[in-house]
Amino acid sequence: MFENALTQRQVAYGTKITYKALVSAGLVTLAVVLPQLVHLALGAPGGMQWLPMYLPVLIGGCLLGAKWGLAVGVLSPLASFLITSALGNPMPMAARLPFMMAELAVFAVVSGLFTNKIARSGLWAFPAVILAQLSGRAAFLGLVALTQSMTDFTVPMIWQQIQTGFAGLLVQALIVPVLIIGLRKLLVKDND
């Protein structure tokens, strides 16, 4: 959608890259800060319930498309881990990091596949987010199933965590599309 808006405004290629990089950096920053705020306010259980890092990643996919969204999805948990490790409290924990990177990559790519449809109608953000959530959570569960003999994670443990996060997913399935629809109204010129 962002690409479409920049193209409508006949923005030069180099400037498009700069804008996308700035938006991506802002979303990754939000993905680092938002979980810290939720954990500060609600503790670790709040993070597992509301899944605050997922919000900027879903926005990134819908707004920037699959390629740039993928970067936001992979870099968000990695940046969070590196920054919070330096502060002495890694989030996510090292054992969870590769799974979360894969899950958020799927979130971003799947939602990003809808970006052109969202540019035409903001309502496409609803199926984009829901399919991204289902795909990402399934990828996480599938990766754990494949690697549970090599990790401390088991399918029942992760399934319990997924159930804990249903409320957060539901809220995000409503909030993210509404945000994207609002951004679309600001960014995309409709040819009425």
pLDDT of residue 36: 94
pLDDT tens-digit map of 106-115: 999 999 999 9
- Taking only the tens place, the pLDDT of each residue in 105-151 is 999 999 999 999 999 999 999 999 999 999 999 999 999 999 999 98
Residue 105: CATH number of its domain: 1.10.1760.20
d(CA 134, CA 138): 6
Question: Is the separation of the CB atoms in 98 and 89 below 8 Å?
Answer: no
In a domain, 192, yes or no: no
Q: Residue with structure tokens 């690697």?
A: 147
User: Does residue 44 fall inside a structural domain?
Assistant: yes
Helix axes 54-64, 125-147, angle to 10 degrees: 120
What pLDDT shows up at residue 189? 81
Query: What is the rounded distance in angstroms from the CA atom of residue 32 to the CA atom of residue 24?
Result: 12
Q: Does 192 score more than 90 pLDDT?
A: no
Residue at 18 is within a domain:
yes
- pLDDT given at position 163: 94
Q: Residue 168's pLDDT band (boundaries 50, 70, 90)?
A: very high
Q: Could you give the CA distance from residue 108 to residue 60 in angstroms, rounded to a whole number?
A: 7
Q: Directed axis angle between helix 166-187 and helix 13-50, to 10°? A: 160
- Tell me 92's DSSP state: S
Question: In total, how many domains does the chain have?
Answer: 1
Helix H or strand E segment including 27: helix 13-50
The residue-averaged pLDDT of 1-26 equals 94
Range of the domain at 96: 2-187
The length of the chain, given as a count of residues: 192
Residue 64: inside a domain, yes or no? Answer: yes
Eight-state DSSP code of residue 128: H
Q: If we measure between CA atoms, which residue out of 152, 51, 143, 63 comes closest to residue 102? A: 143
Question: In this structure, is residue 87 part of a structural domain?
Answer: yes
> Looking at residue 159, what is its pLDDT?
93
174 located within any domain: yes
pLDDT in tens, 62-93: 999 999 999 999 999 999 999 999 999 899 99
For the whole model, what pTM was predicted?
0.95
- pLDDT in the model for residue 188: 87
